């Protein structure tokens, strides 16, 4: 990484560590995400993926190291960031149309401003168009499928036209076809939009993914959409002969402290 890569990056973490009380959650994390990249974060339950997103959002502060978002402290530019949280889904019976749910993504003051009916509704339609579901605008939110609802929540995060979109497991409870559709939507959003998505789906083979990050207290990054043995070792440790993945001597490529730590983490 050169100094200019880091200067122009959307997100930079340098030697970041984070604890809850005394429990180390993330350690020595170095990361550079360039603008426009599509980054996928994988890892076991409890590995620290959501915590990493929260550090980028400025909801948590690192115990050591630094986090920069658009060259600034996290949290300084909320209007430049769209966020689809892990448990952000609305109850299926939520009494609102799709368009109304998308309008909820606007900052509070702007939802009730004088231009609400013209300007903001047009923005909601544009966000729905970007996620490929404009024709659903007037449908009750509760009448949609899980995959359609997830796309509405992505549109809600896009209504402010952010430069960075963070998604925490948008594929929960979505079938493989729905996952493929959402993935395609995220690919199509490309251009200047930087996308960072937490996912448990290891079948990330789509070419549009710029890099995969494996997170399990430490971070191992790769290039392109591949999951390397080093990443698998960080996530799941070394498996015995009775394990379906037992033939892979995964720890061979790991820094020793990360290899031993991976033994102690939850398997998914
Ligand atoms: N508010 C909190 N207080 C204390 N510990 C927490 C808190 N939030 C999370 N943790 C712990 O931090 C660790 C990392 O949690 P995190 O939610 O970042 O993991 P994750 O990789 O996103 O997991 P999952 O895949 O299950 O969503 C876990 O051990 C969790 O129990």
pLDDT exceeds cutoff 70 at 254: no
Ligand 1 centroid–CA 42 distance in Å is 14
On average, the pLDDT of the chain sits at: 82
Least confident piece of the model among 28-42, 121-135, 230-244: 230-244
Instruction: Give the burial string for 181-209 (b: 16+ CB within 10 Å, else e).
Output: bbbebbeebeeebbbbbbbeeeebeeeeb
DSSP 245: T
For residue 53, give the ligand 1 atom closest to its CA: 18
Higher pLDDT, residue 263 or 198: 198
Ligand 1 centroid–CA 130 distance in Å is 32
For residue 52, give the ligand 1 atom closest to its CA: 18
- Residue 33 CB-density burial (10 A; 0-12 exposed, 13-18 middle, 19+ buried): buried
Check: CB of residue 268 under 8 Å from CB of residue 248: no
Least confident piece of the model among 128-132, 179-183, 239-243: 239-243
**19, 24, 44, 50: residue to mutate for ligand 1 pocket, most atoms within 8 A of CB:** 50
Check: CB of residue 47 under 8 Å from CB of residue 265: yes
User: What does the pLDDT look like over 80-90, one tens digit per residue?
Assistant: 999 998 876 77
Which residues does ligand 1 sit against, CB inside 6 Å?
A: 20, 25, 43, 45-51
Provide the pLDDT for residue 99: 94
In CATH terms, the fold of domain 3-227 is Rossmann fold (3.40.50)
pTM of the predicted model as reported, rounded to 2 decimal places: 0.84
- For the chain, the structural domain boundaries read 3-227, 228-268
* CA-based radius of gyration for the chain: 19
């Amino acid at each position: 990484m050169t100094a200019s890569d880091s200067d122009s990056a959307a997100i930079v973490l340098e030697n970041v560590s984070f604890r809850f009380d005394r429990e180390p959650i993330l350690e020595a994390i170095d990361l550079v995400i360039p603008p426009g990249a599509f980054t996928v974060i994988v890892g076991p339950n409890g590995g620290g993926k959501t915590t990493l997103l929260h550090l980028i959002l400025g909801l948590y502060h690192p115990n050591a190291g630094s986090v920069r978002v658009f060259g600034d402290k996290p949290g300084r530019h909320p209007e430049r960031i769209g966020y689809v949280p892990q448990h952000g889904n609305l109850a299926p019976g939520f009494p609102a149309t799709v368009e109304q749910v998308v309008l909820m993504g606007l900052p509070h003051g702007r939802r009730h401003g004088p231009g609400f009916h013209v300007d903001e509704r047009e923005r909601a339609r544009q966000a729905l168009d970007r996620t490929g579901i404009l024709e659903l605008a007037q449908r009750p939110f509760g009448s949609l499928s899980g995959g359609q609802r997830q796309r509405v929540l992505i549109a809600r995060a896009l209504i402010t036209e952010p430069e960075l979109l963070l998604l925490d497991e948008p594929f929960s409870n979505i079938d493989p076809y729905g996952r493929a559709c959402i993935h395609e939507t995220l690919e199509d959003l490309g251009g200047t939009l930087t996308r960072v998505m937490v996912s448990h789906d290891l079948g990330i083979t789509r070419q549009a993914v710029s890099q995969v990050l494996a997170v399990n207290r430490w971070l191992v990054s790769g290039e392109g959409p591949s999951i390397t043995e080093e990443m698998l070792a960080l996530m799941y440790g070394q498996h015995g002969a009775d394990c379906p993945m037992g033939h892979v001597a995964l720890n061979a490529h790991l820094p020793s402290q990360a290899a031993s730590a991976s033994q102690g983490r939850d398997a998914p």
